[in-house]
Amino acid sequence: MSSWQDEGVEILRILINDFSDTPNYTDEILEQTLLVAARYVVQEVNLSSNYSINFLAGSIIPEPEDILLNFMVLKAACLTNTWAFNSKAIMDGITAKCGPYAQMSVKSDAMLILGLLREGPCKTYDELVNQYNFGNADIIRGILSPFCSNQFIPNNGVGFSERN
Q: Which has more pLDDT, 10 or 146?
A: 10
Domain assignment present for 158: no
Domain assignment present for 164: no
Tell me the whole-structure pTM to 2 decimals: 0.66
Domain assignment present for 163: no
- For helices 121-134 and 66-88, what crossing angle results, to 10°? 150
Q: Which of 90-94, 103-107, 130-134 reaches the highest mean pLDDT?
A: 130-134
Residue-level pLDDT at 87: 64
Structural domain of 9? 3-143
Residue-level pLDDT at 59: 93
Which residues, including other chains, have CB under 8 Å from residue 26's CB and lie 6 or more apart?
none
- Structural domains counted in the chain: 1
